[in-house]
Structure 1
Amino acid sequence: MPTCPLAHLPTCPLAHLPFSPMHTISIKHPILEPRDGLLLGNGDLSVSIYQKPNQIVWRFGKNDVWDRRLDLSDSPRPSHIDEIAAGIRDEGWTSHGFIDGQGKALHGTNNEKRMQELCDGPPAYAKRPYPCPKPVGELAMHLPVDLPPMQIDQRLTIEEGLITIICRWPNGVKVHVDCFIPPEPNVLVVRWHIEGWTNKTATGSGTPVRFSLYRWSDPTIEAYAARLYAETGFKYFEGVLQARKSKPLSAPETDRVDDHYVIRQQFYPDLSFKDGFKYVLAPINPHIDITPVDMPGPDEARLHLIPKDDALNGWLITAMGTSTDEGGAEAIIRRVARLISDTGADAVETWAQDSIHSAESFWRRSSVSVDDQMMEQTWYETLHARRCAFRPDVIAPGLAMPSTVQDYSLWHGDYHTNYNYQSPFWGDLTANHLDLADAFYPGMAPMIHLGRKLARDYWRCRGTFIQLSGYPFEIEDDPYGTGPLCRMAYMTGWIANHYWWRYRYTLDRGWLEDQGYPVLRDCALFYTDFLKPDEEGTYHAFPSGQGEYFYTGKLEDYTDRPQVIRHARYCLNIALQAAQILDSDESFQNEWQDRLDHLVVVDDPILLKFSSEEKYRYILNAPEFTAYDVGHIPRPEDAPVFLQTTTDNALWRNYFGQFPWTLMIQLRNRAYHPERDYAAVWAFINKWRRPNGTIRAMSEADYGYIGVYTESQGILAPLQEMMLQSWDGVIRLFPAWPTHINASFTTFRAEGAFLVSATWEAGGVKHAEIVSECGGICRFAGFFSGQMVVQDDGGSRIPYTVQDDVYLFETTLGGRYRIGID
């Protein structure tokens, strides 16, 4: 099969639809914390904007800014799968904690010390606060003081990627600020002008506005944990505090790059950067005096930025460079400074236009319109947040948006691979944003590379093993090598799915061959060797738990767990399909087919009373959307317990982060009924949606100030699957949409490399358009209120057939087809 020449076609078949009115987020009160501030970003550099007394503050974040220390000095030898198998099967291990496991061997053990080591949480994870992402620093605009109380209006125009802030005082003074981050280079641009600053309204003897650029010193973990507890009542880092072996980063410094003052933060050496990772922040404008604050006492690095003239209008560039940038951290500072020196304000205007054009290009890829403002706004706000911090040429964030991370992070802010890392990516392909979907892969590459060592050394398997916890950079060994969660087999298949979906939505054979299949192959080889046959030739999975729980002393809790078997089956199947498409690795194909033919059955379709269609859909459905790890497969007749809007439902009380995943499971099993359930979904989103358009994943009342967790961005997927599904081989138009709410979408992407636009009106599909990027048979379904007709772009009717309420017609490469009522 040749590579599809029209893959990634961005053209919108309904391009005549206007973008206006643009979507905005408006906040008319001060925001006191970065996690609630309006977001800007280019996918790598991002900021959150909030306020302090008499200040507008831009909190910087960048995806690659991590404290990369992995301290294995107290860690025992990582668990080997044979040790765990013997511990479960022969010794009856139990445990009761993720730090101190309180391990016991119910049947006795001949090595008490080793048993305790393997039941305890890994010291490198449980007793050290790093690796973890780090905040970068802040730019503060100091506003006029000694004035009557201020009113503030903050507005993000989503389709332009522009934030405007207006500060007003009763005496007529106004400060207008607009800011943006262009697609490149990594700079924040702040422009301002001031009205009403006269001899009568002015205060003080200085300029009306000035700036500070600063980075505070990394606190000790003891100080940070104490402050977290004092402010929130939430205790964390107990293992770290007990160990007393952590030390903060060295203090940031003011320095120079050539003639330009910068703030520099140096990190400790790691495998990738022998002299340590570093970043620099540099304010640039020849019309602003920049001086370092060199006073005893302040535990920070700070630059004062004072405009040279009356400061009634002006602009300021803040450039950021890191060790991962081409030429190193200082190179971007030199490039930006040279450009400003040569072109001055013209560079600012060029970046402004680049920023708008980049935003316009992004938002042309798809759109939605819903007669429910909050649902429509949620779609745009969520995609905007993803655009700020995700792009395909840099590593993706860990648990939290980079401009909202704290000095230390819960769960190390890591790549958590049992839904957290995957969740924000679930909706990208359907939204026709390959740029966002492809951000999945750079950060996974180090984990896949390390996974080959882990599979070989600790599982005696070929291929790669994906650990529960990982990091988007090179580390020397297993970061989570002991404890009851250290050898769970299901995450490997979960990660593999994203490489298969990328192919299914684009039919890009070249991408599959170069990038997708090597990962699919290695994930499948891991399962090939992990699964072991019994005397009758049936393959079983032992030992591996599912979900997250302790050692229980029960053999059955680690044998053929449904979550493990489902992922093994699906992974072997998609690797086999990929190898067949590429006509590659015949011997592997034979092994994979053998495992599939003889794999133990965990979901018996007869016992589950599956119809033939349900059995077919079960095979095609990704395991993560079949059932929650330890739960049953939802059925259409089930009551919607997960939608209870009471505090006995954790999703409602304190943990929206798992809501998108739960909703996807219900949708895929047709257990979600729009007329019954839509209002409750609306209530969940409305409860957890913040003024800046993000959706809080975990309650601050229970978890403290942990930043904006990206897993909630997974809400894109179920919102879109209410309007379009294609995972079962059929393009289903509005399969789970309420009849009374009109809606439309343009250029959603469907499996098979189809771009789909459709309108739902008065309880049925009014019309649709499909672009076939690669040709082939198009299968679609939807409720039409009359006789359906298919026409090509020239108006000629296209014949179709109907099989079980599914319409089928032949498409040509690049063909455009209109579907409507005759």
Structure 2
Amino acid sequence: MLKTNVQNSDLYNNNVGYERAGQHRIHFNGPATDFFEGALLGNGGLGVVVTTRPDAVLLHFGHNNVWDIRIAEEHRDEIMTFQEVYDRISALPADLPQLTDNPWYKEYCEMTGKNYSKAYPKPMPCGTLLLRYDRRAAEVLGHTVHIKDGRCTIDFLINDKRAVLELFVEGNYDRVWMKVTDTISGAAVPLFTEIKLLPDPETPLEFPQAEITKDAAGVISFTQVLPSMELPAVPYTPHEKDKAFRLAVRTSDLAAINQTATAAGAFACAELWEGLYTDVQAVSEKVPPSLDGYKAAQLETAEWWCDYWNKSAVILSDIFLEEIWYRNLYFFNCSVKEGVTCPGLFANWSYRTIGADWHGDYHMNYNTQQPFWLAFSSNHLDKHLPYVDMVDHVLPVSRSWAQQYYELRGAYFPHSAYPVEMTMMPYPVPHWGWEICETPWTVQSLWWHYLYSMDKDFLRDRAFQPIKEAVLFMVDYMKRLEARGEQWGDDNFHIFPTVVPELYEITPGFAKNSDCLIDLTLTRFLFRAFTEACEVLNEENSEQQLLIEVREILNHFPEYPTAESQRGRVFVSVEGEDPEVVYNVPIPVTTVFPGEHHGLHSTEDEYQTAVNSYLNHRNEGGNELVFYNLAGARLGILDLERFKRQVRYCLLPNGTCTDRVLMSGGRYSDTENFDFMSRMGIWFENFALPAVINECLLQSYNGHLRFFTNWNGQQAEFHTLRAVGGFLVSAEFKDGETAWIEIFSEAGSALSFYIPWADGALCSSSSGQHHIATGAMGTISTTPGERITIVRRQNK
């Protein structure tokens, strides 16, 4: 007789994530005066950092849509074409210590970098709301962020009685609500003596100065114009492309509050409007809603958060790993949202110059892509759509650059880009602007979106064209005369020249500028994705010629560069590289991730080379916290205890992880400040940390599900993680083995999974069918909406 040990097969929509999130509040004792100590709130568009001083509470506003939109696009005619620049570099002596020792090349790099050296574009801080109190009567004790429902509570002693300031960012509107109540009775109590708005102190002096106004109803506001011209006219003359934002706060009469406490306790609501200057002008008479709407806004926002948390959940006996998972998913929801501009390096939190380094822009050699790795396995596909919008935004300038600069078909995606109107590449300096990997990398997640959803409409309407444009460029680039021929000693198509991300730049004689490992693995991924996409969309006839070219290149594709290390054969970034080199981006593991060419499915030799590469890797820090450890999880060799220690090393008081240096010997000297990146901003990229944990629990990258492949033996449970094939997967690990698995098939894909029990598996469908799977793998046909329970086969 076959038995099942699943006690409850209805494991969906049971608020597990919402309830578990409630256990991971972020607490700070005492005044949090520093930006990086403050509470982080947001709704995916609006971001607020709440800091506390011994005399005031300050709310620093930012928004993903609000940027200093000015852009410098000079020297267009001096840049020349790629071929002209390549020919000049080729003529330089190969024995130069470095190319910039040549006066022409040094001047060329300086000229092509001048536009990027301007301070703009950059995220524009949206001002500060200051709530002052009399510290003779009141003392701040600390604050707590309740990630379950997005609230921040700040504890006070007011005349020796405990009180709490509660505030939250509304989920569906760019508003912040505030109230102060007695901790025990819940009655409203007076606290603040002054409320004021402060434009950001680092607002460019050439901008029209914002005027703070207060109307008869007590609404305080200011409007900040964001000119499109680099040097706006004085006096200011509006331009049709100018943008603006308006910050306003409605308050109760403080004198009345201080005399008679109201029952509700809500004393303020702040709201931000942003957009074109003409649109913001049109709402100049609007004010935040009446304060009696506090409760309704709070309930709607709690429901908004509940819907988010119920997309997926984990229950881990390792509390710190569970904390990492929930807290970073909280920050992710605060910082990215469908219909809002894709976040840059530092998302929607900024103040003064915090958030402005590297323009806070899109860096396409991992920074911009990394946070969205979280969206797939965590079952938040909607969070990936701002990235898709970003790809659409940069596609026209990428096409133009491919045609005019490279004189090739398709699109060459940029090293750096901005969410503003661009007509040329922001950073055309060869030593980073020639990173070829960024073109396949930019479009990679569009294919993932299809694989994890099986949404053919998305593939056809949003993904296929950008993927095809990248393929066109890569095909033409690899078929250039310089990239194939007798000079190579083989009949392969090479990726040449290129630049290893964050390493070497352009080297004399192009010594380290061909067939970079990450270029090869991502281009292979791109070509295979395009081939499969054509099959799915029945475009094989219409794309016949391009597919022939793709197959020809794949049949004459360069080998991955390797070297012999103290641990054996390893992958290196380029041929001839010392395996002891100190990296920035963890290039040697990129065939595992994001290349997805190697992993637990690989042959023994390939797997061992990948493992050696992971263990031999030396990283200077800053770009590895998620990236490197995710590759370790994919290989099933991630040391979870060491991973946790590394996370703790990078933790800030606000609960986020910053980028910190790990070692000197590469680009960093022995006297380097290992924390120099910590005060640049809130690093959006590190919110992808839960993706590392997901990969330890469930893998599906090659279309076959594996369970608990990198787990530490402790009890663990996950609910509705998303897998390739459009599957929502739940499972539990208990008493040293997988206890049960439940899978919901959204798309009706064929299900393939590694059987976690030697005795085989009993598979039961919601349709009433039963199936026994034995051996290493099980396969099941599914229909859309079908639910499958898988347990260990037991005989009685």
- Normalised by the shorter chain, which TM-score bucket? 0.7 to 0.9
Range moving further from structure 2, 786-795 or 360-369: 786-795
| Residue aligning to 1:72 | 73
- Give yes or no for the alignment of 1:773 onto 2:746: yes
| Residue aligning to 2:721 | 748
- Give yes or no for the alignment of 1:679 onto 2:641: yes
- 1:452–1:618 Cα change, 3 Å: closer
- 1:219–1:513 Cα change, 3 Å: closer
| Residue aligning to 2:699 | 725
| Residue aligning to 2:334 | 388
| Residue aligning to 1:316 | 268
Once residues 730 and 194 of structure 2 are traced to their aligned partners in structure 1, the CA distance between those partners, rounded to angstroms, is 49
Counterpart residue identity of residue 545, structure 1: V
Range moving further from structure 2, 677-686 or 365-374: 677-686
3-state SS in 1 of match to 2:377: coil
- Give yes or no for the alignment of 1:599 onto 2:557: yes
Counterpart residue identity of residue 191, structure 1: K
- 1:385–1:762 Cα change, 3 Å: same
- Give yes or no for the alignment of 1:539 onto 2:493: yes
Match of 2:302 among 356, 367, 371: 356
Once residues 94 and 393 of structure 2 are traced to their aligned partners in structure 1, the CA distance between those partners, rounded to angstroms, is 32
- Give yes or no for the alignment of 1:623 onto 2:595: yes
- 1:429–1:12 Cα change, 3 Å: farther
- Give yes or no for the alignment of 1:667 onto 2:618: no
Once residues 719 and 213 of structure 1 are traced to their aligned partners in structure 2, the CA distance between those partners, rounded to angstroms, is 42
- 1:579–1:207 Cα change, 3 Å: closer
Q: Would you say how many aligned residue pairs link Structure 1 and Structure 2?
A: 719
- 1:420–1:618 Cα change, 3 Å: closer
Match of 2:546 among 580, 585, 588: 588
| Residue aligning to 2:202 | 218
| Residue aligning to 2:154 | 165
Match of 2:528 among 573, 579, 590: 573
| Residue aligning to 1:3 | none
Range moving further from structure 2, 690-699 or 365-374: 690-699
**Pairwise CA distance, 1:750:** 0.2
Once residues 763 and 449 of structure 2 are traced to their aligned partners in structure 1, the CA distance between those partners, rounded to angstroms, is 28
- 1:505–1:77 Cα change, 3 Å: same
Q: Which runs of 4+ in 1 moved over 4 A?
A: 16-19, 93-97, 194-197, 255-261, 270-273, 305-312, 330-337, 603-610, 617-621, 624-627, 639-643
Q: Where does 1:151-550 land on structure 2 (aligned, <5 Å)?
A: 151-169=140-158, 171-194=159-182, 208-218=192-202, 249-255=207-213, 261-269=220-228, 274-285=240-251, 287-288=252-253, 310=260, 313-323=265-275, 328-330=279-281, 337=288, 340=289, 344-407=290-353, 409-532=356-479, 534-535=484-485, 538-548=492-502, 549-550=504-505
3-state SS in 2 of match to 1:779: strand
3-state SS in 1 of match to 2:403: helix
- 1:772–1:66 Cα change, 3 Å: same
- Give yes or no for the alignment of 1:145 onto 2:135: yes
3-state SS in 1 of match to 2:119: coil
- Give yes or no for the alignment of 1:132 onto 2:122: yes
Q: TM-score, normalised by structure 2?
A: 0.83
3-state SS in 2 of match to 1:64: coil
Counterpart residue identity of residue 648, structure 2: N
Once residues 799 and 196 of structure 1 are traced to their aligned partners in structure 2, the CA distance between those partners, rounded to angstroms, is 59
Once residues 675 and 593 of structure 2 are traced to their aligned partners in structure 1, the CA distance between those partners, rounded to angstroms, is 36
- 1:487–1:121 Cα change, 3 Å: farther
- Give yes or no for the alignment of 1:46 onto 2:47: yes
| Residue aligning to 2:233 | none
Range moving further from structure 2, 564-573 or 307-316: 307-316
3-state SS in 2 of match to 1:351: helix
Once residues 213 and 379 of structure 2 are traced to their aligned partners in structure 1, the CA distance between those partners, rounded to angstroms, is 44
Per-residue Cα deviation, 1:359-408 (whole angstroms, up to 9, x for no partner): 01001100001111111011000000010010121112211132235426
**Pairwise CA distance, 1:620:** 8.9
**Pairwise CA distance, 1:818:** 0.7
Tell me, which stretches of 5 or more residues in structure 2 are unaligned?
Answer: 1-9, 231-237, 572-588, 600-605, 662-673
Once residues 551 and 710 of structure 1 are traced to their aligned partners in structure 2, the CA distance between those partners, rounded to angstroms, is 29
- Give yes or no for the alignment of 1:55 onto 2:27: no
- 1:213–1:792 Cα change, 3 Å: same
| Residue aligning to 2:586 | none
Per-residue Cα deviation, 1:416-451 (whole angstroms, up to 9, x for no partner): 111111111112110001122222122332222211
**Pairwise CA distance, 1:698:** 3.3
Once residues 18 and 476 of structure 1 are traced to their aligned partners in structure 2, the CA distance between those partners, rounded to angstroms, is 44
Given that 2:269 and 2:291 are in contact with CA atoms closer than 8 Å, whether structure 1 keeps it comes out as no
**Pairwise CA distance, 1:75:** 6.8
Range moving further from structure 2, 723-732 or 307-316: 307-316
- 1:196–1:432 Cα change, 3 Å: closer
**Pairwise CA distance, 1:53:** 2.7
Range moving further from structure 2, 446-455 or 775-784: 775-784
- 1:309–1:84 Cα change, 3 Å: farther
**Pairwise CA distance, 1:324:** 5.2
**Pairwise CA distance, 1:640:** 6.5
3-state SS in 2 of match to 1:70: coil
Given that 1:425 and 1:436 are in contact with CA atoms closer than 8 Å, whether structure 2 keeps it comes out as yes
Once residues 75 and 767 of structure 2 are traced to their aligned partners in structure 1, the CA distance between those partners, rounded to angstroms, is 71
Once residues 271 and 397 of structure 2 are traced to their aligned partners in structure 1, the CA distance between those partners, rounded to angstroms, is 33
**Pairwise CA distance, 1:787:** 4.3
- 1:504–1:552 Cα change, 3 Å: same
**Pairwise CA distance, 1:461:** 1.4
Once residues 323 and 164 of structure 1 are traced to their aligned partners in structure 2, the CA distance between those partners, rounded to angstroms, is 31
Once residues 692 and 30 of structure 1 are traced to their aligned partners in structure 2, the CA distance between those partners, rounded to angstroms, is 13
3-state SS in 1 of match to 2:703: coil
3-state SS in 2 of match to 1:769: strand
Once residues 140 and 294 of structure 2 are traced to their aligned partners in structure 1, the CA distance between those partners, rounded to angstroms, is 28
Tell me, which stretches of 5 or more residues in structure 1 are unaligned?
Answer: 1-10, 105-111, 221-246, 290-304, 611-616
Given that 1:60 and 1:138 are in contact with CA atoms closer than 8 Å, whether structure 2 keeps it comes out as yes
Per-residue Cα deviation, 1:651-699 (whole angstroms, up to 9, x for no partner): 3xxx3x422111122333x2x525xx12111111122223322111236
Once residues 624 and 785 of structure 1 are traced to their aligned partners in structure 2, the CA distance between those partners, rounded to angstroms, is 27
The percentage of aligned residue pairs carrying the same residue is 22
Q: TM-score, normalised by structure 1?
A: 0.80
- 1:167–1:331 Cα change, 3 Å: farther
Once residues 451 and 742 of structure 1 are traced to their aligned partners in structure 2, the CA distance between those partners, rounded to angstroms, is 48
Once residues 607 and 419 of structure 2 are traced to their aligned partners in structure 1, the CA distance between those partners, rounded to angstroms, is 33
- 1:121–1:788 Cα change, 3 Å: farther
Range moving further from structure 2, 691-700 or 429-438: 691-700
3-state SS in 2 of match to 1:820: strand
3-state SS in 2 of match to 1:91: coil
Per-residue Cα deviation, 1:244-266 (whole angstroms, up to 9, x for no partner): xxx65443322589985421111
**Pairwise CA distance, 1:29:** 2.3
3-state SS in 2 of match to 1:253: coil
| Residue aligning to 2:668 | none
- Give yes or no for the alignment of 1:635 onto 2:606: no
Range moving further from structure 2, 36-45 or 354-363: 36-45
Once residues 214 and 470 of structure 2 are traced to their aligned partners in structure 1, the CA distance between those partners, rounded to angstroms, is 47
**Pairwise CA distance, 1:72:** 3.1
Given that 2:62 and 2:349 are in contact with CA atoms closer than 8 Å, whether structure 1 keeps it comes out as yes
**Pairwise CA distance, 1:306:** 9.0
